[in-house]
Chains A and B, each alone.
Chain A
Amino acid sequence: AQSVTQLDSQVPVFEEAPVELRCNYSSSVSVYLFWYVQYPNQGLQLLLKYLSGSTLVKGINGFEAEFNKSQTSFHLRKPSVHISDTAEYFCAVTLIQGAQKLVFGQGTRLTINP
């Protein structure tokens, strides 16, 4: 079975500061990795994904993430955050074969302070 651990339930940062949201996963088989963002009272929006190739992937809104196979991590980063980045962020994995079910972490609430 697969599992995802998001190491921080809440991350407060000041506007224009850098941020890193941490994600570790566990799986005995190869997986694909995703980061989703959820704004208040909305569904999930895909930020970025890692399927193969370069381990540094860039997504929307200036976010990027680095896949580290040896550490089974997929941390999300942004060099300078804005008030509009306030949201819940979810890391997720899916198996390459079979039903493409997403297994999500518990989420990290990112709060941007002015």
Chain B
Amino acid sequence: ETGVTQSPTHLIKTRGQQVTLRCSSQSGHNTVSWYQQALGQGPQFIFQYYREEENGRGNFPPRFSGLQFPNYSSELNVNALELDDSALYLCASSLELGRSYEQYFGPGTRLTVT
């Protein structure tokens, strides 16, 4: 069984640029959540997708957007990057919204904004 995978592993961008991070959910999982983990902090919820629809959003500005595809993989897009966007971005998948509360995390993408 393949776990959650994320790409790329590391990324360096310049302030003002745009970035796309990708996530492949665990086999059979149709719910994907994205989290931002700043250095020395706990992860913060960005948003969740269930069957290609956004199903909840944390306290992040609209320049953070996402997509979920028919195969349940997902993208996180961040526009107009700011220095404070530097963080580890974690994707997590779960089996079925409302039935399973276990979220399985990928290894993360470390984004550095200079």
Task: Using CB atoms and an 8 Å cutoff, list the residues of chain A in contact with chain B.
Answer: 4, 32, 36, 42-46, 49, 51, 90, 92, 94, 98-107
Q: Which residues of B contact A90 (CB under 8 A)?
A: 42-43
- B55 close to A106 (CB less than 8 A): no
- B105 close to A43 (CB less than 8 A): yes
- A100 close to B105 (CB less than 8 A): no
- A100 close to B103 (CB less than 8 A): yes
Q: Which residues of B contact A105 (CB under 8 A)?
A: 42
A102 and B43 in contact, given A32-B101, A43-B106 (Cβ under 8 angstroms)? yes
27 intermolecular pairs with C-beta atoms under 8 Å apart: A32-B101, A36-B105, A42-B107, A43-B4, A43-B105, A43-B108, A44-B92, A46-B102, A46-B103, A46-B104, A49-B101, A90-B43, A100-B94, A100-B97, A100-B98, A100-B103, A101-B45, A101-B48, A102-B33, A102-B92, A102-B103, A104-B43, A105-B42, A106-B41, A106-B42, A107-B41, A107-B42
A94 and B56 in contact, given A43-B107, A99-B48, A101-B48 (Cβ under 8 angstroms)? no
Given A43-B90, A46-B102, A101-B58, 7 more pairs with CB closer than 8 A: A4-B42, A32-B101, A43-B106, A98-B56, A100-B94, A100-B97, A102-B33
Q: Which of A94, A103, A106 contacts B101 (CB 8 A)?
A: A94
Q: Which residues of A contact B98 (CB under 8 A)?
A: 100
How far is B45's CA from A4's CA once the two chains are assembled, in angstroms? 14
Return A30 CB to nearest CB of chain B, in Å: 12
Return the chain B residue nearest A45 by Cβ: B105
Q: Is B72 an interface residue (CB 8 A)?
A: no
How far is B88's CA from A90's CA once the two chains are assembled, in angstroms? 15
Q: Which residues of A contact B58 (CB under 8 A)?
A: 101
Q: Which of A4, A51, A100, A104 contacts B48 (CB 8 A)?
A: A100
Q: Which of A36, A43, A101 contacts B33 (CB 8 A)?
A: A101
- A103 close to B45 (CB less than 8 A): yes
How far is B108's CA from A36's CA once the two chains are assembled, in angstroms? 15
Q: Which residues of A contact B106 (CB under 8 A)?
A: 43
Return the chain B residue nearest A103 by Cβ: B45
How far is B58's CA from A49's CA once the two chains are assembled, in angstroms? 23
